[in-house]
Chain A
Amino acid sequence: MQKAFVSIAVAASLGLGATAAQAAILDDVKAKGYIQCGVTGGVAGFSAPDSNNVWTGIEVDYCRAMAAAIFNDADAVRFTSLTSQERFTALSAGEVDVLSRTTTWTMSRDTQLGISFVGTMFYDGQGFMVRVEDGIESALDLSGAAICIESGTTTELNAADYFAANGMEFNTVVFVDQDEVVKAYEDGRCDVYTTDSSALAAERSKFANPDDHIILPEIISKEPLGPVVRAGDTQWFNIARWTYFALLEAEELGVSSANVDEQLGSDNPAIKRLLGVEGEFGAPLGLDNAWAYQIIKLVGNYAETYERNVGPDTPIGLERGLNALWRDGGIQYAPPIR
C-alpha cells in the first residue's frame, strides 16, 4: 500500500500533465490560442518583468517571435517563471510548450531528459563576481572562498570541475532560488557569486552600487544558452528552430522591423523567400507563408532584440562578441531558407 501510494503521488505529479504531450503541440497551442513559455524568475536582459510588469528580454522576445509566427500576434504568449530545478520537469510534463530560460545545451540533457535543444540563442560562459574591497584579481585566488550558487545548474558542476582541476579548496552554499543566491552574496554570506557571465552582468546592474563588484576575467566554461522543446514532435521542433534561424537570417539580409514592409518589394530572392513573397516555406511548418514576415514585423531581427535587451546601450552592456553574425566575426549562423 505504501508503494502504491508513492506511485500515485509521483505519477499524479508527472503523469497526468503529460497526457497533453501526446497530441501535436501545434494543434494544442492553436486550440488554446497562446504559447506557454517557461522563463526565469527575473534575469534582466534575458527574461524579467519591466516596470509596467510586461515581460521583456532576449529570451522573452524569442517566445514572442514564435507567437508572431503562429498567431501573427506577439502577445499571444503566457509566461511561467521557473526555477532551475523545476524547468525540465515543467517542460516534459507539458506545463510549458517551450523553455526559453538561460538553459545550457549539454549532451546529457539533450539525450537523457526527453527534450531537444533548438539552437544557441546566446553564447555564454561561466564567470565569477567578487567584491572590489577583497582585492581578488584572478579566479585562481579563490581557494577557500565561500561561493554562492544556484542549485541544479551546469554552473554547479563547472565550478566543482574548475576548482578540482586547479587543486583549490571548494566551498559552496547552494540555494534553490536565484533571488536567494544574490541576496546571500549581497549580505556577505559568500565571497563569490558565480553563474553565466551575462547573468552576472545583469545582476550587477541591479545592485545598489554596481562599482563595488567586479567580474573576474576568467571564463571557465562554454555555456551555449538556447530554447528547449519536448522531444518527439518534429513539427513543433522545426517551428522553434526556424523561428530562431529567421531572426538571424533577417539580420543577415538587413531586414528589420523598421524596413520590413519596404523589403516586401525587394528584388533579392533570399529576402523574397524569407518574407514569403516567393516559395512555400510556411505550409510545411503548419504556418502561414508570412510567418517570418510576422516575426520581423512584430519582434524584429536578432540584432534588434540583442541591442534592445542586453546590448552595449543597456544597463547590462554586453558587446556582441561570439554572438555577432559569422560574417562579423561571431559564430551566429543560420542555414539558408530555400
Chain B
Amino acid sequence: MTTLDTGQQTAPRASFFNDPVIRGVIYQVVVAALIISFILWIIGNTAANLAAQNKTTGFDFLWRTAGFDISFSLLPWSRASYYWEAFLVGLLNTVLVAVVGIFFATILGFTIGIARLSTNFIVSSLATIYIEVIRNIPLLLQLFFWYFAVLKAMPAVRNSFELPFDSFINQRGIMIPRPIPDEQFGFVWLGLALAVIGVVVLRYWAKKRLEATGQRFPVFLTSVAILFGVTAFVFWISGASVAFEIPVLERFNFRGGLQLPPEFVALAFGLTIYTAAFIAETVRAGIQAVNHGQTEAAASLGLKDADRLRLVIVPQAMRVIIPPLTSQYLNLTKNSSLGAAIGYPELVNVFAGTSLNQTGRAIECIAIVMLVYLTFSLLTSAIMNWYNARVKLVER
C-alpha cells in the first residue's frame, strides 16, 4: 500500500470514480452489457413469439417445388424448379442489373462530371441541370416514369418498330437476333485470348522502352489493330461461322432471338441515370480537389496535355473519388431492389416477395436476403478498398 502511494505522488491521485482509465473501462463494460442483453432479449423474444404463433420454421422449404413462374431468368426455370433455384434466379437477376447499371453509370457519370467543369457555358450548364434535376427526384418515381411512361409510348406487338438487323422494339421489350456460333468458333476465342496476351506484352515492352530510351510507341492504335486483326484473321482461316436466330412474330409476341424485357431495360436505365448524377458530382469534386499548381508543374516538366491528365491529375483525383464512388456502387446495388415495384424479378421480388409469401417463412427469407446484400456490400467495398490502397498517395 505504502509503496503504491509513494509511486503515485507525482500525479495527485483522483478519486476512484474520477479516474479517466477506470471510467473508460466502466463505460465500455456497461455499453457492451447493454448491447449483449439487447441481442439476447431480441433472440429470445423472437423464438418465444414464433413458438406462440404456431408457425412452421426452418430452411427445409428451399428443397420444395416452387410452382410459380419467373418471367426473366438467366438459368433454366420451370414451375417444377425448387425454391433454392428461385433464390439463384433472383440473385443472378440482381447481379445482372447491378453490373450493367454500374458499368453505364460510371461511363455516364465521368462524362457528365467532366462536362460540368467544361469552359463551354452550354455544356457545363446542361450538366448542372441534369445533376440537379435527377438527384432531387426520388428514384422510385423515376423508375415508375421510365417504366410506365416509356411503356405507353412503345408500339403494340403487331406495330413493332423495326430496327436494322432484324431487331424490334415494342411493349414487350427489345428483341434482337441471337448469335449461334458453330463448333469452329472455339478457335476464334483462342485467337482473341492470344491477342489479349500479345497486347499485355506489348504494353509492358513499350513502357520499358519509354523508361530506357524516352522513345514513345503508339501503344493504343497497335493494341486495337492486334485485337481486331488477329481475331478476324483466325475467324477467316478457321472457317468459323455464326448463324443468327431471328425473332419471329407469333400470335402474341416474337419468339426466338434474345429478348430484353422492358422491366429490365427500365430498371437498368433508371439506375444508370440516377446514380450517374451522383457519380458526376463525385468526379467533379475529385478533379477540383487537385491543386491547379499540379497542372502547371506538370506542364513545366514538358508533359503533353493528355499525359498531364493521365499521369498527374487523374491519379490524384482518384484518391478523392474512389471512397464516395464505392458508396455509389453499393447504393446502386441496393437500389436495384426497387425493381420489385416495376415487375423486374430480382432477389427481393422473387425471394423476399413471392417465395416468402408462398411459404410463409418470413424470418428465413428476409435473413437470407439481408445476408446477400451484406455480402454484396462487403465484396464491393473490399474490391474498392484494394483499388483505393493501390492509388492512394504514397508518403515517403
Contact = CB atoms under 8 A, between A and B. Distances in A.
A26 interface: no
B253 A146 contact: yes
Nearest to B250: A144
A109 B361 CA distance: 11
Interface string B24-56: 000000000000001100110110010011111
A189 B171 contact: yes
A220 interface: no
Tell me whether chain B's interface is mostly helix, strand or loop, or mixed.
helix
Contacts of A174: 69-71, 343, 345, 349, 353-354
Contacts of A187: 148, 151-152, 171
B130 interface: no
30 contacts: A6-B367, A10-B363, A10-B366, A11-B42, A11-B43, A11-B363, A15-B45, A15-B49, A21-B53, A85-B353, A112-B359, A112-B360, A151-B340, A151-B349, A151-B353, A152-B358, A159-B69, A160-B67, A161-B67, A174-B69, A174-B345, A174-B349, A175-B342, A177-B341, A184-B151, A184-B343, A187-B152, A188-B171, A231-B54, A232-B53
Given A10-B363, A108-B360, A176-B341, 17 more contacts: A7-B46, A9-B370, A14-B362, A92-B55, A113-B360, A144-B251, A146-B253, A152-B354, A156-B68, A156-B354, A171-B71, A174-B343, A180-B343, A184-B151, A188-B151, A189-B172, A231-B54
B46 A10 contact: yes
Given A112-B56, A114-B53, A146 B148 contact: no
Interface in A1-40: 2, 4, 6-16, 18-19, 21-22
A187 B357 CA distance: 27
Contacts, number: 163
Nearest to A145: B252
Interface in B356-377: 356-360, 362-363, 366-367, 370-371, 374
Interface residues of B, number: 54
Interface string B319-362: 00000000000000000000011110100010001101111101
A270 interface: no
Contacts of A183: 148
Nearest to B69: A172
Contacts of B262: 189
Given A18-B49, A176-B341, A114 B354 contact: no
A8 B151 contact: no
A105 interface: no
Contacts of B363: 10-11, 14
Contact of B343 (A12, A22, A173): A173
A309 interface: no
A11 B252 CA distance: 46
Contacts of B46: 7, 10-11, 14-15
B262 to A, nearest CB: 7
B42 A84 contact: no
A84 B362 CA distance: 14
Contact of A18 (B53, B152, B172): B53
Contacts of B68: 156-157, 160
Contacts of A189: 151, 171-172, 262
B55 A114 contact: yes
A156 B69 contact: yes
